[in-house]
Structures are given as structure tokens and as C-alpha cells.
Amino acid sequence: MSTTANNSTVAQAPNIVFILADDLGWADLSVYGQADFTTPHLDALAGEGVRFTQAYANSAVCSATRFALITGRYQYRLRGGLEEPLVRKAHVHGLPPEHPTLPSLLRDAGYDTALIGKWHLGSLPTFGPLKSGYDRFFGNYGGAIDYFTHKPGVGDAVARDLYEGEVPVERVGYYTQLLADEATQWIGERSAAKPFFLSLHFTAPHWPWVGPEDEEISLGLKDLFHYDGGNLATYARMVRSLDKAVGQVLDALKAQGLADNTIVVFTSDNGGERFSKTWPFTGQKTELLEGGIRVPTLLRWPVRIAPQVSEQVTATMDWLPTLLAAAGVAPSADYPPDGENILPVLESHAPAYPRTLFWRYKSQRQRAVREGRYKYLRINDNEFLFDVEDDTLERANLRDKHPEVFERLRAAWEQWNAQFLPITDEVITHGLSPDIQADRYVPDLAERGM
């Protein structure tokens, strides 16, 4: 693949394939440090494009990050974005259909749009992909389903969470592969005459811990939640299956002659969980330590961007302004992005520019600010200042050594937080669910001196 193209090719609006993994840890790809197994297709994607070293998820859990991705804004601007994750009130709080989104803005500019995979931004009949900019949807509305039964729970009385548009459907097969097959077919139906935007949102490697050869294990599960079953070998099979699925989709682009002018992005919705590798960071999903929010991120666009390793600090909400800029589409003036367009830095190989990013989680039990090399972190009543460039494990508290930095970042968080919807007791009650509860993780943090 070349990094240049003739003027007619460059002038064409790029296709976009946005691939989102679920709960993939920072070092779960071999190109990011996984040594127990390999991910050759994603490693190749990294070698052909941009590998980010300082990319963050907007939240430490999935649905909140997905609000930021689709709107380009901090999720705390929307009531549904406060749930973290959106579980018990998905029929009440979701992505408002009238809100401009990345797919709706591209669709209005002439793109074919599709979401294949996980939605998790509110349930029918009020919310859904077809109401928020996607022309086609195949996948699950909720947060997690079994890979073989395609149900969000165990038992014959539990309905499948698998839909074609807004109609329930049945399929046979391992879910990661089903999504790859659907995406491959959809790409095969495209032509160079009209650009397309494909959101391919896998549930892998989110629990339940079931690999592609584990159908009998799947049918025997008593609990789909993350503490039931699993081991490192099973997790490896899940990630390798994800890697294979991505390779299949990339091959489909090549077969259609669309690879050079297609932007491919691969990232995760938050940090890893039970079996993930997050070295050299600590922390995991639901925590604002680096392991809970720093995510592997790759981008390839051969006609415009040369292969490189980028140290640019970026967040999930940056993808809307960045991809719209690549497509020549303006964001909504009524809903300006909080994210930033990072395309100029990637195209010019310019040095990374400074960013300040903010997080909060679960009734402000956790809060964080990243500014330059420093990170302010609060967990319960414990406050820290870390140099996350030199101290990636977040062990040395520098609050007394650099009190001016500590106080500045603490004040900056308060000022930032005042702009957004508050996390009330009612939000906390709705946000708690059987699968994710902040209280489960507090002892882990306490054991680390947090």
C-alpha cells in the first residue's frame, strides 16, 4: 500500500470503518506488549498506519464512552451518559434521536451508514441506531450477550438480544464471527460510487468467557457475569478470534479495491477487565487509573496518513471532529464537539500538542485530570498527583512535591465539572447493576493504598 495517491483518489470522500472492541486491555494486542499469544492482523494494521501510545477512553465503562463517541462530546451532557453503564433505565434514558451524531452527520452528507454489533445507548421503542443516523443495524441493543445463545441472560425464558433493524432475529454461530460475516457482506455490497461509514462494534472480549470452540461451555453456564468461569487460555482464544475477524474485514476492503481510501480505526471502549493485560499500567475497567481508561488505538488511511507512532494525547470524543474533517463535513453548530480534530497532527507528523482531559465516575467517587505529564486522581477521599510519563504504575504521589500543580488541577476539575449534569443519588441507584458495581472494586483500590 502506498502513502500517496493521485489527485482524483484523494479528492474522493473516504470510506470509514470504525472498529470498537469491548473491554480490551492496553496490552492485549501483541503490538502493545502481549507475549502470551499473537494478534497478527491487528499488528499488521498498526504497522501500516498510526499506533497511538496515549489514547484514552472517555469513560472507564462502555455505554458512557459510546455516548462520547457518537456525539463527540463529554457524555455528562446527556442524562443517559450518567448511568455508567446504561442498564436498568435503558428504556428511559438513552441517546435522544434528535441529537446530531457522527453517523447522522455523515448520512446527511451522502454516506451509507451501518452499525453492526453492540449499540448500548438506549432500548426500543424510544432509542436505537435507526433513530440516530444509521441506515442499517444488525446486532445487540444491550451491554452483553452470550456468544452462542445471543441472550443477555441464562434460561429458556430469556429472549435473545439480536436484531436486524428493530426486528428480533435468530442466527447460529459464535457472535464475533457472525459480526465479521455481516460486515464482510455489507462491505461487499458497496461500490466506489458512494462513500460509507461502518461502525463495527464487537462485544469481544467482554464476558461471558467463551471462546469460539466453547459452545458446550456456553450452554452450561449458570451465570453470564464476569466472575463465572473463564481462564487466561479462554481469554486468549477470544482475543485471537477478534483479531481474525478484523483481518477478515480488512481483506474484504482489499477485495473491493477500497482499502487505500478507507479510514480504519480500531480501539476499545474502556480498559481491560478480569483476564486483560494492562502492563505497564495498573487499574482496570471501572477505575480511573490508567489501566481503566488508556486503550490500544490504531488508525490506517494510506492515501493521506503515513505509518507512524503517535504520542498525541487523544480521547474517544475526538473521533467525531477528526472523522468529519476527513470527510469534509462540518459538525453541528448547535452541538459543538468537546473533542478535537487531531487529523492535522497525523498528516504533518507534527509534534504532539498538549491536551487537558477530564473524567469522573460513580457519584464523583473517582475523578481525574490529565494535563501534560501530570495526572490528578481522586478516589473516595484520597487525592494524588502522578507523573504518568515516568511513573506509569501511578505509585509515587507527588502532591506535596508539586503542590501548585496539584491545586491547579484539582481546581480545574471543579471548574470543568460545574458545566455538566450532576451525578445525583437517583443516578447512582439506576446505574448499579448486577454485573458492574463500583463497591466491588473499592477493596482492590484500598489494597493498593488508594
Instruction: List the one residue out of 91, 240, 90, 223 whose CA is nearest residue 151.
Output: 223
Domain membership of residue 45 (yes or no) is yes
Last residue of a domain, one of 328, 348, 368: 348
Count of structural domains, the chain: 2
213 and 86 both lie in a single domain: yes
Task: Note whether 183 and 275 are same-domain residues.
Answer: yes
| 62 φ, ψ (degrees, to nearest 5) | -75, -55
CB 324 within 8 A of CB 340: no
- Check if the beta carbon of residue 37 is closer than 8 Å to that of residue 236: yes
- Interatomic CA distance for residues 240 and 38, integer angstroms: 7
Which residue segment(s) compose the domain that 312 sits in? Answer: 13-348
SS3 222: coil
Say what the pLDDT of residue 122 is.
95
Reported confidence tier of residue 11, pLDDT bands at 50, 70, 90: low
CATH of residue 421's domain is 3.30.1120.10
Q: Are residues 336 and 403 in the same domain?
A: no
In a domain, residue 205? The reply is yes
Residue 5 lies in a domain: no
Minimum mean pLDDT range among 27-31, 35-39, 332-336, 431-435: 431-435
Beta carbons of 375 and 398 less than 8 angstroms apart: no
My answer on whether 262 and 173 are in the same domain is yes
Q: Are residues 20 and 83 in the same domain?
A: yes
Whether residues 251 and 385 fall in one domain: no
- How far apart, in Å, are the Cα atoms of 287 and each of 56, 303, 367, 440, 450? 13, 38, 10, 11, 11
Based on the domain organization, do 299 and 396 belong to the same domain?
no
Cβ neighbourhood burial of 7 (10 Å; 0-12, 13-18, 19+): exposed
**Closest by CA position to 360, among listed 447, 276, 430, 438:** 438
Evaluate if pTM is beyond 0.85: yes
- Chain center to CA of 370: 19
Q: Tell me, yes or no, whether 389 and 439 share the same domain.
A: yes
Residue 444: strand, helix, or coil: helix
Domain at 297, CATH number: 3.40.720.10
Spell out where 291-420 has E strands: 297-300, 308-310, 314-315, 356-361, 366-371, 374-379, 382-387
- For the chain, give the mean pLDDT: 91
Q: Contact at 8 Å (CB) between 273 and 37?
A: no
Residue 440 domain-assigned (yes or no):
yes
Task: State whether 297 and 422 are in the same domain.
Answer: no
List the catalytic residues.
62, 120
Which of 348, 371, 394 is the C-terminal boundary of a domain?
A: 348
Whether 412 and 330 map to the same domain: the answer is no
DSSP 314: E
Q: Is residue 7 part of a domain?
A: no
Check residue 285 and give its pLDDT: 94
Per-residue CA distances from 147 to 102, 284, 319 (Å)? 28, 23, 28
Residue 6 lies inside a defined structural domain of this protein: no
Same domain, 343 and 372: no
Q: Which residues contact 346 (CB under 8 A, 6 or more apart)?
A: 50, 299, 305, 308, 310, 312
Question: Is 421 within the bounds of a domain?
Answer: yes
Is 4 among the domain residues?
Answer: no
pLDDT digits (tens, 9 = 90+) for 129-157: 999 999 999 999 999 999 999 999 888 88
Q: Where are the alpha helices (DSSP H) in 28-83?
A: 40-48, 62-71
User: pLDDT tens digits, residue range 400-430?
Assistant: 999 999 999 999 999 999 999 988 877 776 5
Last residue of a domain, one of 320, 348, 376: 348
Of 118, 164, 113, 120, give the one whose Cα is nearest residue 134. Answer: 113
Q: Please indicate, yes or no, whether residues 312 and 420 belong to a single structural domain of this protein.
A: no
Among 379, 385, 377, 340, smallest CA distance to 358 is for 377
pLDDT tens digits along 262-315: 999 999 999 999 999 999 999 999 999 999 999 999 999 999 999 999 999 999
